[in-house]
Structure 1
């Protein structure tokens, strides 16, 4: 029984390690908000490598590499 529990725990941990951190944590951009996601190559978030912006009209603009360490922000549309 203990071996099964440990096997399940190891499998769950391995699965989460394979899924990119950005995919695990990013919230959906709510309607009526502008959302900005910045991607950095380092954990100190000093080297910006990409950006994804979701505008108030629901259009999306991206540039650079959309993977790495993430900073996400939102602000209400006027």
Structure 2
């Protein structure tokens, strides 16, 4: 069991270590805000490959794939 946990930890560390330079993670969406994260194929952000929208009512809509190249925005709910 401990070997499995160590193996998973090692894989996670390797995955994090292999993020391309310039990659970033999306901030957490605060309560009372509508948040939109757009994922792009590369650091030039020319090709949109996925979107995650977190709505004011708590619903989340996603499509495409997640990458480390993002634009993120938040708007207060009315």
TM-score (norm 2): 0.69
More helix by share: 1
How far did residue 77 of structure 1 move? Answer: 0.6
C-alpha RMSD over aligned residues: 2.1
Aligned partner of residue 17 in structure 2, secondary structure: helix
Larger Rg belongs to: 1
TM-score (norm 1): 0.69
Gap runs ≥5 in structure 2: 1-13
Gap runs ≥5 in structure 1: 1-13
Give 1:70's aligned residue: 70
Residue correspondences, number:
63
Question: Take 2:51 and 2:58, find their aligned partners in 1: how far apart are those partners?
Answer: 16
Give 1:52's aligned residue: 52
